Structure 1
Amino acid sequence: MKSDATRRIGLNEVLLVDRLRVSVVEGEGKGRTFEVDADRPVSVGSAPDNHVVLADQTVSRYHVELTRAIGGLRIRDLGSLNGTQLGSLGVNDVIAPLGSTVRLGNTMLRLEDAESREAPQDDDVVEIPSIVGDSPAIRQVRRTVYKLAGASSSVLIQGETGTGKELVARAIHDLSDRAGHPFVVVDCGSMPATLIASELFGHERGAFTGADRRHQGAFERAGTGTIFLDELGELPLQVQSMLLGVLERREFRRIGGERELDVKARVIAATNRDLRAEVNKGAFRADLYFRLAITKVLLPPLRERTQDIDALVSHFAEHLSGQPHTALFSAEALALLRTQSWSGNIRELRNVVEAALTMGQLKLEGGAEGNLEPGAEQLQSYRDARALALTRFEQVYLRDLMARFDNNASEAARQARMDRPYLLSLLRRHGLR
């Protein structure tokens, strides 16, 4: 039987890398591997006195310097002629996670810990009740969470709306030594740009019109706990610049303040956007992206893990009704759930289960219906039928609205002549954000 307890991992279980393995995976010298001590800066280039010597004419004599850092490696371009790329982005000075591939000229390198401690392959080593399912993708998420819980580096959680990004962030926090300290959530997409800086960093009395008292921001409230930046991709560029400065200096000032306050909290961020594409469009700062994405967790959409639907339905049914799903849902109803596209992912599934428990019948997009166990269905009252019809209308309307405007809530609200906060509340209610 699985325990509801969550094992905590001490911070001392995750250390800085001691030896670095640099493997040539593309270009001149493909297949070569270098292992070097990482307790000092490691130079990479074509000159013979580098720690890692590459026989590639497009690689500068002294191309990059690698320095170990918590959660990964600092990669610093030394003014090379052809530049340094991490993924599709040109970089000058970033911290990248171990396991990253970096391109120098025509050569691609993989940077790894030569003495890495592998995450446990047996999921029973650690129990995370909030991360439900047994698909390979979810087992990998649990292994990743287990590893990250013992570190203090920043984490970026990426996944579609409703995939459980905040649940994963809370699991990382709860597994770590920070578990007894605050977990502070900042929804970067739910407030005007003029208020985000104040919410993050706080303000002094009189700092701006309406600031009639001192306000502690999220970084201050988090203390030595965790600050979770949800909808990171919605941050305005000006606030991105401020956030980057705080993360680099590990200190901040309240707006209108003079005293520097230390940042002791761990930062976990989440987004449903492709931030690399946002960087290429100039909508998101590359240096902030790499600062936050030292380590990443990728959450699969529900349509790619349909084998977990039975377990999720059981989890939600027991939580909402106190009874297992086998006593409430027919096999036909469960089979029907596995055929849906689930654009709202886990959050949408939970809403459907809750509605089914309340109304006595599954109502799904496209007119599909599934009965509960025989005898459960009954004539709905006018009030319940009207509420269900309104719910279905709102779901269809909101999906179409957000698709038309590429999930841009501000533009969607303007075109629909709705207040943005009200639109956001509707999206959350229906598991669409």
Structure 2
Amino acid sequence: MDCARLWLGLLMPAVAALDFSYHHQPEMEAFLKNVAQNYSSITHLHSIGKSVQGRNLWVLVVGRSPREHRIGIPEFKYVANMHGDEAVGRELLLHLIEYLVTRDGRDPEITNLINSTRIHIMPSMNPDGFEAVVKPDCFYNDGRDNSNLYDLNRNFPDAFELNNVPRQPETVAVMKWLTTETFVLSANLHGGALVASYPFDNGVPATGTLYSRSLTPDDDVFQYLANTYASRNPDMKRNSCRIKTGFSNGIVNGYSWYPLKGGMQDYNYIWAQCFEITLELSCCKYPRKEKLPSFWKDNKDSLIEYIKQVHIGVKGQVFDQNETPLSNVTVEVQDRKHICPYRTNKFGEYYLLLLPGSYVIEVTVPGHGPHLTKVTIPPKSQNFSALKKDILLPFRGQLDHISESNPLCPRIPLYSELQGHSAATKPSLFLFLVTLFHILFK
């Protein structure tokens, strides 16, 4: 089958080569529509909503089943340009689209990636902001915010404190989009620094803020994900921006860098069950177009390798004794539960991103005691697939009862009442020294 696809790829039409320049909305739309037309078997172009000024928020899906989810195939996404003046990520995602579709059937790695993954790419979350930039600048442009002058990366519900700003059309569209797919892994692309930043961006003492950081229960996975991207980008790894930072090997905890309320990566992790990191890809927010080829060269391998990480850990379905898939039941690792519990989707599927090691998966169905299953994640992912582990429960599930008794987590400050520290948030000697350094020399 793979050989046949490789031969078929040699006969497929090619998209007109994408130039290295900045593509405004008409040019971007023309490119995306051309890709969708010429590669209709592996792509699906759709708009998830409109900006304040009525521009479409385009998403191109690349995969073997681009129009619908297939059981066992994880959903991945990239989002760029949510700050309209941070323009490099927008162009990198257009070039990534071209790279993927033109190499399907020709490049075994890309072919396998498309076979095993459904990849959603949104080049611009803030097209109005991008169009508002009159004179590109490295540091600040009027187009950072949307047309209502709201920063979209401060506009989401926040788990740590009330964020009652008016939700913007672009934010609402993304929030709705997150409910339509079982996204597992994501990154949002920014500019103005060179670093891979991971959650949390906001925090409370219970997540470690007394030690100048805010850690998730999956901090080991997030550090691994950030390192996966940064280690393949030479400028990011050595922090080439000529500014003093606390970055180590090109990664940083978001809160440790600077706290922010209403960020998109925290919202993804808490309410959408999707691990997201923030990628700052250029010291200059809107560099000259002549610099774009070097940005593509520096980021291409990182962009591809990061997508592959959607296949780490374990995945499967939860069934009752009649082998009926159970939706909306809690599936979590015993020692890393989320404040908004992770649940199966409508197909009874779960996806848990985990590093190699042994874990106990706890499945909870209302009216029954927890069901425990031990799994061991091997040192290497299994050829573009997480470890597959279906879970058969020894009773008959009542699907209507499950659905009614498990409402979505409320969009309020979920962490506001928590006190104390988990083991993950206790200080290490390294972090103590970093904190002391900041106090003495800030």
Q: TM-score range by the shorter chain?
A: under 0.3
In the superposition, the TM-score normalised over structure 1's length comes to 0.27
In the superposition, the TM-score normalised over structure 2's length comes to 0.27
> Which has the higher relative contact order, 1 or 2, with Cα contacts under 8 A spaced 6 or more apart?
2
Q: Kindly name which structure, 1 or 2, has the bigger radius of gyration based on alpha carbons.
A: 1
